[in-house]
């Protein structure tokens, strides 16, 4: 039975929200780790610190890709009606709609930023 989110959020919706929110946090940490380059003048062991930063970036990238993979597999399970383990077209359509809304927000934000930069 489907109910509105303000009544009760479903397990799959909570799980996907948690996965995607965690992926966003990991990607932000990855950007910070990638941006933490040090110069030779600042630290005597700068080569070691830069290698550590590169290693951390690789680890975080692997984690965010894993989270992305899990979210995509969840969609696959719900959308594959002939071979899926949990076919639920309504859920798959909801996931697609959520992705579409996110893309539209990004598109709108990039257009507004572009208009601001041209002004």
Residue 4 within a domain = no
Residue 78 within a domain = yes
Residue 48 within a domain = yes
**Integer distance in angstroms from the first to the last C-alpha of the chain?**
50
Q: Does the structure show a pLDDT above 70 at 116?
A: yes
pLDDT classification of 92: cutoffs 50, 70, 90: confident
| Structural domains of the chain, count | 1
Residue 40 within a domain = yes
Q: Does the structure show a pLDDT above 70 at 28?
A: yes
Q: The domain containing residue 71 runs over which residues?
A: 11-118
Residue 5 within a domain = no
pTM as predicted: 0.62
pLDDT tens-digit map of 6-15:
888 777 778 8
Across 79-114, b (16+ Cβ under 10 Å) vs e yields beeeeeeeeeeebbebbeeeeeeeeeeeeeeeeeee
Residue 2 within a domain = no
């Amino acid at each position: 039975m489907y109910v509105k989110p303000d009544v009760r959020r479903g397990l799959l919706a909570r799980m996907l929200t948690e996965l995607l929110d965690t992926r966003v946090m990991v990607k932000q940490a990855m950007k910070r780790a990638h941006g933490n380059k040090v110069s030779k003048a600042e630290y005597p062991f700068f080569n070691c610190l830069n290698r550590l930063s590169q290693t951390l970036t690789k680890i975080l990238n692997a984690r965010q890709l894993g989270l992305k993979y899990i979210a995509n597999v969840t969609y696959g399970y719900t959308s594959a009606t002939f071979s899926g383990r949990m076919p639920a077209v309504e859920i798959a359509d909801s996931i697609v709609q959520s992705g579409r809304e996110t893309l539209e927000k990004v598109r709108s934000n990039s257009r507004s930023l572009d208009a601001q930069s041209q002004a």
